[in-house]
Structure 1
Amino acid sequence: MVETKRRHHMALRVGVIGGGQLARMMIAPAVELGLDIRVLAEGEGMSAGLAATAVGDYRDLDVVRAFARDVDVVTFDHEHVPQDVLRALVAEGVAVHPGPDALRFAQDKLDMRARLAELGIPQPDWAPVRSARELQDFLDAHDGRGVVKTPRGGYDGKGVRVVGDPGEAADWLDGLADGEALLVEELVPFVRELAQQVARRPSGQVASYPVVETVQRDGVCAEVIAPAPHAVERLTEVAEEIGVRIAEGLGVTGMLAVELFQTDDDRILVNELAMRPHNSGHWSQDGAVTGQFEQHLRAVADLPLGSTAPRSPWSVMINILGGPSEGSLGDRFESAMAAYPEAKIHTYGKDPRPGRKVGHVNVSGEELDDVVYTARAAASHFD
């Protein structure tokens, strides 16, 4: 094993920075693997509070350093820990997975686009823009439309605008500091969105999951179908090849999710990256031999990776977005469980709020239409 310190007579201690639902869903597999999981939460009452051993600001080096002192390997619930904090940990001998050299490509979309171009990975046309003139030039070259993104901090549709005129991004352009730029991309004529997940250990072993189809609503993932329907063998091969090339080319350790566009002329283009468990992989908790949360822990602890084979021909994940307008999520459990005992319901310990991800439902089975219907019906109990 490399990097992580093997501890005799004691469990390997995995520290997760971030107390959201992704950290929460690492708790059960950590216990089953015999790992000691600890969480640095941003505040009291976070989703992963069951394993929170510290509360503090992940941007504060002293806070993160103190947390890391009591674990054997550090990993993440999100990609927002600053580079200077990450690099200080690495300089002090802390095992960090994914490391800062990889994580920066999930933190900065301009860096990501430039690096993927160097690797020859297919992606939309793109450019950095610092002025209305530069943005207009890009729009003129791409049929008058483009997707403008803030390079850092955007997720779930935030920090993304489809524009046809530079004035629609004027506030972002005016807010740029010296040396900063926005990212503009071509408006891709896609027929659907896909996601490819790959796990990679520090020692190099790689495991790929089946490519899945994702359905977005208002910029937020609403449904995932695994595997992607009507995915011909060549498409699955290309998606897996892209995922593995990125994982190896960027030096990712842990789970990597590659969000993809399938275009109307059957190209596969990379949209965005996430270096952690990802919404597109929640189906695997119940639908694959090894769920993504267990796989992430195996990978960052440099343990042998598990099988990614599906347990059933089809699995569908439906996000519970917002939650009930009246009452609590808990009030809806009994009716959903009674009506659809085959559904696996996961909640995040969050209060309902419009648009907020508060849980998800997984259903697996033999017939796709039946699986989709059951998953949607079970999730509807939480509306």
Structure 2
Amino acid sequence: MTVRVGVIGGGQLARMMIAPAVELGLDLRVLAEDEGMSARLAATAVGDYRDLDTVRAFVRDVDVVTFDHEHVPQEVLRALVADGVRVHPGPDALQYAQDKLVMRARLAELGVPQPDWAPVDDAGELQRFIDDHGGGAVVKTPRGGYDGKGVRVVRAGGEADDWFAGLAEGEALLAEELVSFTRELAQQIARRPGGQMVAYPVVETVQRDGVCAEVIAPAPGAGARVQEVAERIGLSIAEGIGVTGMLAVELFETDDERLLVNELAMRPHNSGHWSQDGAVTGQFEQHLRAVADLPLGHPEPRSPWTVMVNILGGPEQGALEDRFASAMSEHPGAKIHTYGKSPRPGRKVGHVNVTGDELDDVVYTARAAAARFL
């Protein structure tokens, strides 16, 4: 019998699940937030993912539910589980991607290396944290932030007064040590409900203005120790929180050669887009295999190097599709993936993957191909 997979959220991650779902013989259905979203080709319903009745109506005809994002409220998720719906990842795991304070506390229980941190609910508490950590801190809103939103580097407690003013009774912000790091890495793990896990190679991510701009797979210069530690961290988190599907662990590599966990994502992730064309099993296929409880595929790279470059913003005039021909003609080795989104400054509207034997050539080609769309 064909497995019917329901995806809540109609963004580009759901869009990129469509092709592997077809290839795996899965029936993919999407609950989109609005008409005309990226995954409109598979959208069978449009509605508010925060409304329990809407979500219940959507999941009535699916066998398993997964997500394009982590924003579905816990009360909705737990109601679905109580109804007997298979939800992957489940609410017990997803809470650690939804609330950064909850995540930090759980990682501490697991003994996972991470920056020093504390909840702070007023400027005085934040100032004390700053004073205890060299005169600076990173402040984050625990819920809802992404792509640099909800994150602020501060040198004085009063610099987050507007966020403190918006806190409800009993809420707090997250203050973190301002880590001195040499680069950012990401480790991806896939895990099935029964516990089977596979680890992808650790990759280097390049951020610009808080947004992932490039990914190099595998991470250049990552020796056996870095690879081993990153994989061990990822596997311990996946097992410790019981995640099902894809898990992305964002890491800092510090200047004193430590790896510290920055954030978690429990879905396909920007740091794994390279795997669509650069790994034996891409992350979107792997996520579907995992949530449908199918045997996991090999995560090994197909080529020595793969570079992913995001297309951010798009052309100022005309549609993204108008640039396809020139990009394809000039860079026939580049694999182009677009999201069906209208261009907007800083918006992720697509990405380019290039594989090859020489890193310098692969980086140049990926950047040049992506630049044709800007």
Length-normalised TM-score, structure 2: 1.00
Q: Indicate the residue corresponding to 2:47 in structure 1.
A: 56
Pair 1:278 & 2:269 matched:
yes
Structure 2 Cα separation of the partners of residues 375 and 174 of structure 1: 44
C-alpha distance after superposition, 1:148-179 (max 9, x if no partner): 00000000000000000111100011111110
Once residues 133 and 50 of structure 1 are traced to their aligned partners in structure 2, the CA distance between those partners, rounded to angstroms, is: 51
- SS state at 1:286 partner: helix
Give the SS at the match of 1:49.
Answer: coil
What are the residue-to-residue correspondences of 1:164-179 with 2, within 5 Å? 164-179=155-170
The CA distance in 1 between the partners of 2:165 and 2:213, in whole Å, is 33
Match of 2:107 in 1: 116
Aligned AA for 1:254?
G
Q: Which residue of 2 aligns with 1:69?
A: 60
Return the alpha-carbon distance in structure 1 between the equivalents of residues 80 and 302 of structure 2: 39
Query: Which of 6, 14, 20 is matched with 1:15 structurally?
Result: 6
Cα distance per residue 1:71-115 (max 9 Å; x no partner): 000000000000000000000000000000000000000000000
Residue 225 of structure 1 corresponds to 216
Corresponding residue of 2:125: 134
* 1:209 aligned residue (194, 200, 210): 200
- Residue 347 of structure 1 aligns with an amino acid whose one-letter code is T
Deviation at 1:326, TM superposition (A): 1.2
**What TM-score do you get using the length of structure 1 for normalisation?**
0.97
Report the secondary structure of 2:16's partner residue.
helix
Structure 1 residue 328, shift from structure 2 partner: 1.1
Letter of the 2:28 counterpart: I
Cα deviations across residues 93-143 of structure 1 (Å, max 9, x unaligned)?
Answer: 000000000000000000000000000000000000011111011000001
Cα distance in 2 between the residues matched to 1:335 and 1:133: 56
Structure 2 partner of 1:365: 356
The equivalent of 2:292 in structure 1 is 301
Q: Report how many residues are paired.
A: 374
SS in 2 for 1:280: helix
Structure-1 separation of matches of 2:206 and 2:354: 16
Q: Which residue of 2 aligns with 1:247?
A: 238
SS in 2 for 1:66: helix
Structure 1 runs, 4 residues or longer, greater than 4 Å off: none
Shift of 1:327: 1.2
Q: Paired residue for 1:4?
A: none
Gaps of 5+ in 2: none
Give me the CA root mean square deviation: 0.4
Residue equivalent to 1:3: none
Distance 2:283 2:82 in 1: 29
**Structure 1 residue runs without a partner (length 5+):** 1-7
Structure 2 distance, partners of 1:80, 1:176, is 19
Instruction: Give the distance between the partners of 2:223 and 2:72, measured in 1 at CA.
Output: 39
